[in-house]
Structure 1
Amino acid sequence: MRTFDFRHAVSVDDAIRSVAETGGAYLAGGTNLVDLMKNGVLQPPALVDIRRLGLSEVASTEAGGVRIGAGVTNSALANHQLVRSQYPVLSQALLSGATTQLRNMATVGGNLLQRTRCPYFMQTEFDRCNKRVPNSGCAALDGFNREHALFGTSSHCVATNPSDMAVALTILDAVVHVQGPGGSRSVPITEFFTVPGDTPQRENCLQPAELITAVELPPSPYAAHSWYLKLRDRHSYAFALVSAAVGIEVSGGVIVSAAVALGGVAPMPWRVPAAEAILIGQPPEDTVLRAAAERALAGARPLNQNGFKIPLGRSAVHRALVRALDTVGPAAHQG
């Protein structure tokens, strides 16, 4: 690890000014950033500690939703009563990630900004990684790509986004609040992440020195019927091969609202409106659920080693939909 300057920010404005001046990085939990610095993947000239800025509150909004400070830890959020009662799918997603020790450190803002775990990005011994070294090539295209993406890729990058939390936030229509040198703005979660195109080093819409300050959730119709299912090589401390976050609202014997998003298959949480359309207006019968699961993986573009993710993804969506319909509200949440 190279040497770097370090300072504690005393306010949000102070943190933004410090990062803008130094070209450094924000430090909260550090569970991903510090590892990348140790491995030489990232070498920021400065770290600005933002853990003392009061960004660790979870509170109800006047609209009936929840505002989550960017500094809230994953453990605190997963176990917060507002989340467990109104957004159980988010609690499930958080508890499926990493280990208890890491969840106790990792923050909401850091979770959204964590980098891909593609081995060609994570290990500097590999020369070809457009995300780490622009215009160097993508070794995964003809190398190890079993864990890589089915959707949203380009010839420059086929890496996946590793966040479980972000998949759940996607079906909840979360809004990310950011502040930077140019002021504050709010970004829908579906617009926060970017596909690689020919600039895979850019993974989200943040501008230089912008800081995530909070994530806001509107009231959700899915508290009673939602589920997060994560399929992985081992139960503990493994990233998703495929995951599915689903929410269903049933009224009068038919599905009146639905949300479906996939994880582990794209460079961002992959929401699937076409699968949602299959469900809406239909009775919650197994044939309908299977049709939606089939549609969720339509258009997938497998690489030479990850074609198994297509049937795995169909199974994940179908199983998540079944579990969501079987739940009877927050009391059925298993955390």
Structure 2
Amino acid sequence: MKSFDYAKADSAETAVAEAAHPDTRFIAGGTNLLDLMKLQVETPARLVDISRLPLSDIEETDDGGLRIGALVPNSDLAADPKVRERYEVLSRALLAGASGQLRNKASTGGNLLQRTRCYYFYETASRCNKRVPGSGCDAQEGFNRILAVLGTSDHCIATHPSDMAVAMRALDATIITLGGDGERRRVPIGDFYRLPGDRPDMETVLKPGELITHVELPPAPAGRQIYRKVRDRASYAFALVSVAGIVAIEDGTITSAHLAFGGLGPMPWRDAAVESALIGNAPSDALFGQAADILLRDARGFGSNDFKIPLARRTLIATLRELTA
């Protein structure tokens, strides 16, 4: 690990002021960043410790939603009675995401900003446009079993690793930030992540030095909630395919649907056309197959990950069967 400067922030405003220094990163739990620094995938010149900021509360909002501090540990968020009762899909996603030790350290804000687990991103001897823009992408012709089949580009096929973010995408979360100029922004999670395009190193719309302070959830949508995760092993592996689903039915007809997917794309994936195809129709395997066709209409495998396309189809259909049983 290369040497770096360290600063401890006592307020969000101090943190963003400290982050005005070039090549600075915030650190809270450090469950992803420290690994990247040890491997010299990331080599920040300065770390700003935000772990002591008063951002660890889960509060009710006036409209019946929740306001979650960016430093709420994943374990606390998964166990919170309000989350378990009203946002079961989020609690289940968090519990599927990591070991208890990691959940105790990992923060809500940091979870949203996890970086890909693509092998070539972590191997500094490999070409990776996400790590070194313009260097190439060895993953496309290499071992890409865990990588994306939706939203890829000629420059990158990495997936986003977070389970929590998939559930929050289904729940229409809003991410609240503080910038170095004092600007506070509210960014819908659907607008927060970027597709790789020709700049896969630019993963979110955060500006340099901008700090996530809270995540807000609207009132929980009607319907049954499920998080289904398919992985190589049950003990804390990353998703090959995951589905966060919320479906409501009245009089035998689907009245609302919220579906987000992990393991398939460079961001928590959501396709409004899939949900529209379901709403207003009676549940059936034929309908679920049509929804899967829409989801995967532009899917593209790269060899080792070709199996993800039929796996995603089966996983979506199985999830919808359970949601509408």
Q: Same fold (TM over 0.5)?
A: yes
Aligned partners of 2:261 and 2:221: how far apart in 1? 19
Aligned to 1:329: none
* 1:127-146 paired onto structure 2 within 5 Å: 128-146=127-145
Aligned partners of 1:86 and 1:69: how far apart in 2? 18
Aligned to 2:109: 109
Aligned to 2:124: 124
Contact 1:79 1:91 in 2 (8 A): yes
Q: Deviations over 1:118-168 (max 9, x none)?
A: 011012122x10111111000011111111111111111110000111111
* 1:145-156 paired onto structure 2 within 5 Å: 145-156=144-155
Aligned to 1:81: 81
SS in 1 for 2:17: helix
The one-letter code sitting in structure 2 at the alignment partner of 1:166 is A
Aligned partners of 2:125 and 2:22: how far apart in 1? 28
SS in 2 for 1:76: helix
- Number of aligned positions between the proteins: 324
SS in 1 for 2:249: strand
Aligned to 2:201: 201
Matched, 1:95 2:65: no
Identity of aligned residues (%): 52
Aligned partners of 1:88 and 1:22: how far apart in 2? 40
* 1:252-271 paired onto structure 2 within 5 Å: 252-271=251-270
Aligned partners of 1:14 and 1:22: how far apart in 2? 16
Superposition deviation, residue 290 in structure 1:
3.2
Aligned to 1:332: none
The one-letter code sitting in structure 2 at the alignment partner of 1:146 is R
* 1:234-273 paired onto structure 2 within 5 Å: 234-273=233-272
Contact 1:114 1:163 in 2 (8 A): yes
Farther off after superposition, 88-97 or 297-306:
297-306
The one-letter code sitting in structure 2 at the alignment partner of 1:120 is Y
The one-letter code sitting in structure 2 at the alignment partner of 1:60 is E
Superposition deviation, residue 114 in structure 1:
0.6
The one-letter code sitting in structure 2 at the alignment partner of 1:151 is L
The one-letter code sitting in structure 2 at the alignment partner of 1:10 is D
The one-letter code sitting in structure 2 at the alignment partner of 1:218 is P
Aligned to 1:189: 189
Superposition deviation, residue 22 in structure 1:
4.6
* 1:1-335 paired onto structure 2 within 5 Å: 1-126=1-126, 128-182=127-181, 183-222=183-222, 224-326=223-325
Aligned partners of 2:19 and 2:193: how far apart in 1? 21
Farther off after superposition, 117-126 or 197-206:
117-126
Q: Deviations over 1:32-86 (max 9, x none)?
A: 0000000110011111111111111001100110011000011100111111111
Contact 1:262 1:271 in 2 (8 A): yes
Farther off after superposition, 17-26 or 131-140:
17-26
Contact 1:161 1:267 in 2 (8 A): yes
Aligned partners of 1:235 and 1:58: how far apart in 2? 29
Aligned partners of 1:275 and 1:22: how far apart in 2? 43
Aligned partners of 2:79 and 2:19: how far apart in 1? 32
Superposition deviation, residue 220 in structure 1:
1.9
Contact 1:246 1:317 in 2 (8 A): no
The one-letter code sitting in structure 1 at the alignment partner of 2:288 is L
Aligned partners of 1:85 and 1:255: how far apart in 2? 22
SS in 1 for 2:276: helix
SS in 1 for 2:214: strand
Aligned partners of 2:322 and 2:221: how far apart in 1? 16
Contact 1:226 1:325 in 2 (8 A): no
Show structure 2 runs of 5+ residues with no match. none
Contact 1:23 1:209 in 2 (8 A): no
Q: Deviations over 1:172-223 (max 9, x none)?
A: 110000111131100000000000111111000000000000110001224x
Aligned to 1:331: none
Contact 2:171 2:221 in 1 (8 A): no
Contact 1:227 1:321 in 2 (8 A): no
The one-letter code sitting in structure 2 at the alignment partner of 1:157 is C
Q: Deviations over 1:274-317 (max 9, x none)?
A: 21112100123333233323332222111122111011001111
Aligned partners of 1:323 and 1:46: how far apart in 2? 48
The one-letter code sitting in structure 2 at the alignment partner of 1:207 is K
Contact 1:194 1:203 in 2 (8 A): yes
Aligned partners of 2:204 and 2:224: how far apart in 1? 30
The one-letter code sitting in structure 1 at the alignment partner of 2:85 is S
For normalisation by structure 2, the TM-score amounts to 0.97
